[in-house]
Amino acid sequence: MFRLSAVARLSLLVLVGVGLLLVGCAKKQPAEGIKFEPKGGIAAKAPTGEPYKIGAVFAVSGPASPLGMPEKQTAEMLQKQINAEGGINGRPLEIIVMDTASEEDKCRMATERLIQNDKVLAIVGPSQSGETMAIIDTVQAAQVPLLSCAAAVKITEPVKKWVFKTPQTDAMAVERIFRVLQKRGTKKIAAITVANAFGEGGLEQMKKQAPNSGIQIVAEEKFGPKDTDMTTQLTRIKGTKAEAVVCWGTNPGPAVIAQNMQQLGMKIPLFQSHGVANEAFIKLAGKAAEGIMFPAGKLLVADSLADTDPQKKVLLAYKEAFQKEFNNKSPDTFGGHAWDAIMLVVNALRKSGPDRAKLRDELETTKGFRGIGGVFNLSPTDHNGLRPDAFVMVKIQNGRWVLAEEQ
């Protein structure tokens, strides 16, 4: 019989121990979401049994459809991919998407149906801050985890037990814009904001941060979500000493403002919020979009990121998968918010199983999740989990997004 020497046996034990240590360390690496293809080309076993149901409330139609449509498409893509990889713990994933038509009442009704009729384990969305605020009491009372795809800081501050959000906050967005304004020596700005919860949140943060940034807001104007001309408001701004305009809204309004400023011959810089981080803005604004800067997640400029950036691999994988699924269409920030919300739920469900309370607890302790919007580190005191460095300043140049030199 073949026998190992004492030295050989000791060497073998060391090698086994090192191997186990490496496996243990690998399990502690930051989460990066799903694998986009089964390793080695081996097909995963088809999921069976009762599905894990996740509800989704997106503004697929109505004024906010530029946000809701890519969110819906991302949800459809992820359901297909996850089930192709074996589902969640061997069971299929079912994402039930409801169109809110960009209306708070319809969002509320859709949420109630998902909770009462479909018995979903969690809800992702809505697309807008106002819609989100309209359903917070509903999900809190039903004790169903909600992962909003809207930006307003008040969604998660103060913390609500069952409410989380994936987008970077409006507070972070204002901070990034004001940083550039300070570097330029800009002292006076005009604010023009959409008359809804998103616009109100942006204006609130501008007023809050302006004094410490050495910036004075010399004009405040508003516009409706469906308004098609803002020349009246902009004419008043033109008559002030504003050195820059900061617009806070989602399409189509911000694109109209860019065009109206050009028509009025206004030469001062126009900064937009992260609410325009999609191709729809460039298409709607046309040549008026040229040179506009705004804060956005890194997805729009993923190719320009350093290889050492912790998100780059995930961003490029999402981009490639989305383009393959939707005829080479480029993904945008809003689809990314849905990706983060869904994948945070999926990763938590793998640990919690189909139990809402346990799922909520797993979400709240998520650390190092490398998503589209940033690296998420959630806690009982932070249900967003992102830092200001999740944003970069993006500039529109020759009809394309580029990483701005000013950061």
Fold of 171-296: Rossmann fold (3.40.50)
Neighbours of 19 (CB within 10 A): 10
Q: How many CB atoms are closer than 10 A to CB 184?
A: 12
CB contact at 8 A, 375 and 311: yes
User: Taking CA 25 as the corner, what is the angle to CA 23 and CA 27, rounded to the nearest 5 degrees?
Assistant: 75
- Shared fold status for 52-168+308-387 and 171-296: yes
Spacing of C-alpha 285 from chain mean position: 23
How high is the pLDDT of residue 279?
A: 87
* Residue of 225, 221, 205 lying closest to 213 (CA atoms): 205
The widest CA-to-CA distance across the chain, in whole angstroms, is 97
Residue 42 pLDDT: 53
* Phi, psi angle pair for 280, to nearest 5°: -55, -35
Question: How long, in residues, is the chain?
Answer: 407
Q: What is the mean pLDDT of residues 50-72?
A: 96
Q: What sign has the CA pseudo-torsion 336, 342, 345, 351?
A: negative
Q: What is the pLDDT of residues 249-291, one digit of tens each?
A: 998 999 999 999 999 999 999 999 999 998 889 999 999 999 9
> Buried b / exposed e across 285-323, counting CB within 10 Å, b at 16+?
beebbeebbbbbbbbbbbeebeeeeebbebbebbbebbe
Question: To which CATH superfamily is domain 52-168+308-387 assigned?
Answer: Response regulator (3.40.50.2300)
CA dist 86 and 91 (Å) reads: 7
Nearest C-alpha neighbor of 45 from the set 7, 15, 83, 73? 83
221-254 pLDDT tens trace: 999 998 999 999 999 999 999 999 999 999 899 9
The whole-angstrom separation of Cα 13 and Cα 49 is: 42
Say what the pLDDT of residue 44 is. Answer: 77
* Distance separating alpha carbons of residues 62 and 235, to the nearest angstrom: 28
pLDDT at 251: 87
For the full predicted model, state whether its pTM sits above 0.75.
yes
Give me the amino acid identity at 405.
E
Q: What phi and psi values does residue 349 have, to the nearest 5 degrees?
A: -65, -30
The confidence score (pLDDT) of residue 43 equals 63
Across the range 345-349, mean pLDDT stands at 98
Give CA–CA dist 68/78, Å, rounded: 15
- Any idea what the Cα angle at residue 236 is, between residues 233 and 238, rounded to 5°? 110
CA distance 166 to 86: 25
Q: Do 67 and 108 touch, CB atoms closer than 8 A? A: no
CA atoms within 13 A on the CB side of 72: 17
Does position 56 have pLDDT exceeding 90, yes or no?
Answer: yes
Name the residue ranges covered by the structural domains of the chain: 52-168+308-387, 171-296
